[in-house]
Amino acid sequence: MKVVIVGGVAGGATAAARIRRLDEQAAIVVFERSGFISYANCGLPYYIGGVIEDPEELTLQTPESFFSRFRVAMRVRHEVTAIHPDKKTVSVTNLETGEEFEEGYDKLLLSPGAKPTQPRLPGVGLDRLFTLRTVEDTFRIKEFIDRNHPKSAVLAGGGFISLELAENLRKLGMEVTIVQRPKQLMNPFDPDMAAFIHSKMRRHGVGLALGHTVEGFEEKNGGVDVLLKDEMPLHADMVVLAIGVSPDTGLAKDAGLELGIKGSIVVNDRMETSVSDIYAVGDAVQVKHFVTGQDVLLSLAGPANKQGRIAADNICGGDSRYTGSQGSSVVKVFDMTAASTGVNETNAKKAGLDVDTVIHSPMSHAGYYPGGKLMTMKVVFEKETYRLLGAQIVGYEGVDKRIDVLATAIRAGMKATELKDLDLAYAPPYSSAKDPVNMAGFMIENIANGVLKQWHLADVDTLPRDGSVTLLDTRTVGEFDGGHIDGFLNIPVDELRERLGKLDKSKPVYVICQSGLRSYIACRILAGNGFECYNFSGGFRFYDAVMHDRCLIESATACGMDK
């Protein structure tokens, strides 16, 4: 059996190694357009910033090392220019020599990946305009910085690469501004959770121009003007386009393979395309979302590696299945960590799901052990069924392990109420006896049992201010004086029992505190005394962070704050 693989990196290289492990006699040829067959995409920004000093650390395998171990012919700087399914051959161009030839196959695996989205805008192609996707892109940016010592950069786009690059350019002393059309960074997060990411970026000197449309680029004063719709241009010494990626599927289209979202390759759960003996994996393929069942594109290394292994199994006569992607991801934001899995509240509602959420702010480990830090956790679940749909966490230590627990729970089909039952490791330096994941489960169980009724951030503007409800803030007087929502009465929770006579039992009570705990206790006191009570999800800390962020995005002048 002869297997030809188009593209290395995650999916292609993984498949090649797996095929060899399953079939020692197979002939395996990999054609890779770039000069690198297996490299760490996610590490590229850290090389630019000097965190990774040796460029060889970016290369996971070389053609020589791969051949030595697996006897796989790695043909770098070779571009496949056409697929001929009828003849079961591919046309190849040696980019070093210009030689053109055809290569036959029994099985063909496409792992072309995705390419940076290049908007058709005036000025695209300027020397000081970059994209960051490959090792070659990285070296080009690094060389430009080392040679020209730019003092400022504009990053167009607000995803993973943009955040990581912003941090690394700031470490080099550059002024950095991120500009993009959506009014938030990091689409896997809901806007309320993204507010914490925005705050961290601003605190580290990254300018955020959110909700602005880029209309073009112009060379000016030795740099680049980024032209914005209805706004003054942003000027910088260099610009990096990080507005997303598009499936690199020109070959598949020309060969007549069925295409899906944004021209991606349609595959079944065996990673088979619509054409016999042709498989496809990675960023170029359309997959099912594990939670919603909808067709999606998810450009992440983990799924690409899994798909490469599954395709290899099936090429070698097995029957492996890809059960879908759930988008588990984590990103370093300076000294903070942000992570998500499953679907967020926004996308769950777009998918037609009837959802609810809980938001809480636990410590990373036991409060009495030094060094604990707050994290903010949002868990999304389906009403009525309590199916666990997704989670987002922003914080410091311990964020990554909690998101992995929640990702596993989603994959296992657990209900959100069952999070309370997870038996998780505890020692004071690492966690609390009631782990933050358990705490989310307790909260959701309380909702299921009618013990907890919530009101949310979206309800703030619609709460009656005509006296028909009681608005109650149960923080201390000092906390209340430091900032509160207009119209709320302040009764500290520890004084509530003695002051119940001041409240009207005929009116529902909407309660808030700093994090949600004291207001929950207040609700139990009120409910035990015949009141109808609703607890604010997230607490005033959450409310203040989100509203402050919205204020900065919408109107810096009206808020009296700088962006």
3-state SS assignment for residue 3: strand
> What angle do the packed helices 9-22 and 301-315 form, to 10 degrees?
30
41-50, 100-109, 377-386: segment of lowest average pLDDT: 41-50
115-119, 171-175, 357-361: segment of lowest average pLDDT: 115-119
Q: Which residue has the tokens 């998780």?
A: 424
Cβ contact 263:247 at 8 Å: yes
Which residues 6+ apart lie within 8 Å of 314 measured at CB?
270, 271, 272, 279, 320
- pTM given for the model: 0.93
Helix (H) or strand (E) holding 66: helix 63-70
Sheet holding 509-512, edge to edge: 454-455, 533-536, 509-512, 470-473, 489-490
380 or 69, which is more confident?
A: 380
Instruction: Report how far residue 3's alpha carbon sits from residue 12's, in angstroms, rounded to the nearest whole number.
Output: 11
61 or 503, which is more confident?
A: 503
In this predicted structure, the answer to whether residue 561 has a pLDDT above a threshold of 50 is no
pLDDT digit string, tens, across residues 414-445: 999 999 999 999 999 999 999 999 999 999 99
- Percent of the chain exceeding pLDDT 90 equals 82
- 197: number of CA atoms within 13 Å, CB side? 34
User: 42 an active-site residue?
Assistant: yes
Sheet holding 152-156, edge to edge: 129-131, 238-241, 152-156, 175-180, 206-210
Instruction: Report how far residue 273's alpha carbon sits from residue 252's, in angstroms, rounded to the nearest whole number.
Output: 10
18-32, 253-267, 548-562: segment of lowest average pLDDT: 548-562
- Percent of the chain exceeding pLDDT 70 equals 97
User: Nearest 5°: CA angle at 28, between 24 and 34?
Assistant: 140
Instruction: Report how far residue 252's alpha carbon sits from residue 551's, in angstroms, rounded to the nearest whole number.
Output: 46
Which candidate in 42, 513, 533, 559 is catalytic? Answer: 42
Paired tokens of 469? 């409800």
In this predicted structure, the answer to whether residue 557 has a pLDDT above a threshold of 50 is no
Instruction: Report how far residue 357's alpha carbon sits from residue 535's, in angstroms, rounded to the nearest whole number.
Output: 13
> How high is the pLDDT of residue 556?
44
